[in-house]
Structures are given as C-alpha cells and as structure tokens.
Amino acid sequence: MKWVVLVGSVRRGSYNAAVARALPALAPEAVAVTLLPSVASLPIYDGDIEAAGMPGPVTAMGAEIAGADGLVIVTPEYNYSVPGGLKNALDWLSRIKERQPLKGKPTLILSASPGALGGARAQYHLRQVLVALDAAVMNMPEVMISQAHKKIEDGRIIDEGTSAFVGKQLAAFKAFVEKLA
C-alpha cells in the first residue's frame, strides 16, 4: 500500500513537516509513505496560466496522488484556517481534468500547533474544501497535536504518547483505505 503526504507548511522548522517526516516510521506494516514536493513549488493559481497549459509541477503532483492508495495532509492553522500554499495546491489539483486525483481518494488529515487546539479550525476548513473535491476523508480518529513545541523538538516527535496516538490513527487509516478499495 502506498500513501503520499502533502504538507501545508513551507517553514524550515515546521512542526507539521516534522510530523510528516515521522509518518513512515509510525505507519503500519506494508505501508510505504512518501512526501510530495513542497506546496511552494507550485505557482499561485491563475486561470491564464492554466489556459496556457497546466504547470508541470501540478500535473506531477496530481499523478503522484492519483497513483497512491491514500493521501495524508499534514497542516498548520493560519488565522483560523488553512495556509494559503495548501489551499493554492488544492485549487490547482482541482483543475486537473483527466483522472481527477482527489475524487474518491482516501484522505487523512493531521495538524500540529503550539496552541491549545492543535490546528482544529484548519482541519474543519480543510474538510469543507475537500468536500468540493469529492475526497473520501476519514473522520475519526482525529489527530490535532496541541502544544507542539513541547512534543516536537529538533524536527522529531519526542512525546511517546503523541507518536502512539498518530500510529493508532495511521492504523485506522489503513483499514479505511482497505475498506474503500
């Protein structure tokens, strides 16, 4: 089974990127997890650019998602919502006409934040966007890592309880992906 990971943050010291990098070690047996290119690699969505031809990084990202069994999105919360770079990536991906990569795609959301809610508001907004893309989002269990600055250090999850909880979510996601296959 193959999953790809889309990270909503481009910050070098991102807690969410650290979580994403931890996923291969926390994933269930027989699941390969690879990170997609950064959302920063995509131009800002522009219908004129689209009319001239879909940018290569967009079609490449779309092909990787389409070829995967599941998509994992790991994102911070910016101003009670989804980061602009992640929303831009989803806007571009929604424009792919052939083999729409998110339609029916088993999708999982995780977030990490130094705040008390762990990115909850971003997750709820992201779920709204994913409805428009017809992604098959796993609802439970949710993982919202609050107080991330106490649980992630030097680009690694250092809190064993957090690692175990993420591992349980990934096991549930594997079962969800198998159920939808």
Residue 17's pLDDT is 96
Give me the CATH number covering residue 73. Answer: 3.40.50.360
SS (H, E, C) the chain: CEEEEEECCCCCCCHHHHHHHHHHHHCCCCCEEEECCCHHHCCCCCHHHHHHCCCHHHHHHHHHHHCCCEEEEEECCECCECCHHHHHHHHHHHCCCCCCCCCCCEEEEEEECCCCCCCHHHHHHHHHHHHHCCCEECCCCCEEECCHHHHEECCEECCHHHHHHHHHHHHHHHHHHHHHC
Which tops the pLDDT comparison, 168 or 97? 168
pLDDT above 70: percentage of residues in the chain: 100
Cut 0.95: pTM above it: yes
List the domain range (segments joined by +) for residue 13.
2-180
pLDDT, tens only, 69-104:
999 999 999 999 999 999 999 999 999 988 899 999
Q: What is the domain count for the chain? A: 1
